[in-house]
A = this chain, B = another copy of it.
Amino acid sequence: MASATLIALLHGPDQPGLVARVAGWIFARGGNILHADQHRDQEAGVFFQRVEWVPAAGADAAAAAEFTAFAATLGMQARLVSTARRQRVVLFVSKADHCFHDLVLRGRAGDLPGDLVGVVGNHPDLAAAAAGYGLPFHHVPVTPEGKAAAEARQLELLRAAGADLVVLARYMQVLSADFLERCGAPVINIHHSFLPAFAGGRPYHQAHTRGVKLIGATAHYATRDLDEGPIIHQDVARVTHRHGVDDLVRRGRDLERLVLAQAVRWHLEGRVLAYGNKTVVFD
């Protein structure tokens, strides 16, 4: 059984000696660094680091807060993840079930370092499937007039569930800027195209009309600018003139499943650092 580790994601203005000072701080407190990976944005002069270590015995809860304070003295922001506590994930769904089944089955296979703790659907279609997996399902219908109330209800559910992460598993509603601000947890969305191509609705129809030879899928953090959030992962598949829109949709489902699952996994492993509208992924 592996020891619990602390993972810090750091970024701030670059300056000489950062790698040495971070490593020295951990070493001085009896921690053992397992992985350390860093990146410099040469143009912007920003330093990014992911460092994972086994803290000295008994140091866990304190270590995280102390490290954050230490990072601040270097002018850096830090986000800490402790593997001692499993993160709690809530899925938002509509009618399509392929990403939903995929994530749940990966969770059950032990492939995700987090727990799926609930499902919120604006349609009731996946209630039975969620029940079959023993997952609480909350039906929160969303209508144009009732959107604010629905989002208030969703926020309540997230708070009650203690959500650390929200995954939009083909959830077909746009979340308001207000919701995203008050949500308190990052939100990962899967868009069924190679963004920025074919942003907006019905991307497979757009792709078919344009006659592209590849289709794609993009997992990104949801932000107030629809389809403009920081991209975590993307992939593509080859299509030909023989594929109708239905075939694109079917092939796209495999892409969506794989791209979303990888993005969620990387996020839960503390590998994704968003800054501006980009990400640094320490894979």
Contacts and interface: CB of A to CB of B under 8 A. Distances in A.
Contacts of A276: 211
A77 to B, nearest CB: 17
A45 interface: no
Interface stretch (A31-39, A62-70, A151-159, A161-169): A31-39
B40 A38 contact: no
Nearest to A278: B211
A19 B39 contact: no
B111 A101 contact: no
B241 A278 contact: yes
**Interface majority SS on A: helix, strand, loop or mixed?**
mixed
A195 interface: yes
A37 B283 CA distance: 12
| Residue picked from A20, A101, A230, most chain B C-beta under 10 Å | A20
Interface residues of A, number: 63
Interface in A2-46: 16-21, 23-24, 26-27, 32-43
B40 A19 contact: no
Nearest to A32: B16
A194 B211 contact: no
B33 A27 contact: no
Contacts of A236: 194, 214, 236
A224 interface: no
A153 to B, nearest CB: 30
A279 interface: yes
Given A101-B101, A197-B197, A213-B231, 10 more contacts: A19-B33, A41-B241, A43-B244, A210-B277, A211-B279, A214-B216, A214-B234, A214-B235, A240-B281, A240-B283
